[in-house]
Amino acid sequence: MQDYHEFIDKVLVDAASIEKRVSELGAQISQDYAGEELLIVCMLRGGITFTADLTRFLTIPHTLDCMSLSSYGVGHYASSGNVRVNFDLMTNIEDRNVLLVEDIVDSGRTLAHVLQMLRTREPKSLKVCVLLDKKYRREVPVEVDYVGFDVPDKYVFGYGIDIDEHYRHLRFIASADLKKYKKEDNLSK
Ligand code: IMP
Ligand code: MG
């Protein structure tokens, strides 16, 4: 695995700013759902870190489930437009308040797909919380209810977000200079 210092462009959001914003989102969500029960749906795998931190700022009763969709395959750095369900929720969401927690909304295709799929299950409410919004890249209109940060049209990594499955553990969010990034020959290693 290449040292990220060799290809980092710049730190877009540092750890302290992430924590502050995540705490604000937690407080806002807790206020908006006061008196209600909430099902948090973590979109694997990029949403893991954000979801784990966000739920610790919630003061309302909530439960957690996960689902996995992919639009970017390993080794691709632009949305393929193809969205695949790797695995689905275990919870029946009928009549539940559902909040999807996702790392990034880019073209909007992944979210549009999952929202359409979940709506057919007739939840009581269905909202979306994304950590990062690449607004200018939108190809499909999707309504996002809570946004952590707007980010420029650059490939980003850290705080749950990967490049070829690596660098998710970093506490900050940075942009990458992909010209300097060396892709490993065998990514399944
Ligand atoms: P969309 O379907 O084009 O909106 O893509 C959303 C998904 O693509 C996100 O959930 C991420 O997993 C992935 N993605 C988009 N931009 C980036 C990026 O800059 N770094 C890593 N993953 C990204
Ligand atoms: Mg994702």
Instruction: Give pLDDT tens digits for 109-139.
Output: 999 999 999 999 999 999 999 999 999 999 9
| Cα Rg of the chain, angstroms | 16
pLDDT score, position 188? 47
- Nearest Cα residue to atom 9 of ligand 1: 104
Counting atoms of ligand 1 from 1, which one is nearest the CA of 107?
Answer: 3
Q: pTM to 2 decimals? A: 0.93
Angle between helices 48-55 and 15-32 (to 10 degrees): 60
Are residues 161 and 103 in contact, defined by beta-carbon separation less than 8 angstroms? yes
pLDDT score, position 184? 77
Confidence class for position 76, pLDDT limits 50, 70, 90: low
> pLDDT tens digits, residue range 28-51?
999 999 999 999 999 999 999 999
Which of 10, 100, 104 best tests ligand 1's pocket when mutated (most atoms within 8 Å of CB)? 104
Are residues 156 and 104 in contact, defined by beta-carbon separation less than 8 angstroms? yes
Residue 158 Cβ contacting ligand 1 at under 6 Å: no
Counting atoms of ligand 1 from 1, which one is nearest the CA of 137?
Answer: 3
pLDDT score, position 84? 86
* Residues designated as active site: 106
Distance separating the N- and C-terminal Cα atoms of the chain:
10
Cα–ligand 2 centroid distance for 134 (angstroms): 13
> pLDDT tens digits, residue range 93-103?
999 999 999 99
Residue 69 Cβ contacting ligand 1 at under 6 Å: no
Ligand having the closest approach to the CA of 83: 1
Residue 28 Cβ contacting ligand 1 at under 6 Å: no
Question: What integer best gives the mean pLDDT of the chain?
Answer: 93
Residue 176 Cβ contacting ligand 1 at under 6 Å: no
Ion ligand 2, residue ranges at CB < 5 A? 46
pLDDT over threshold 90, residue 79: no
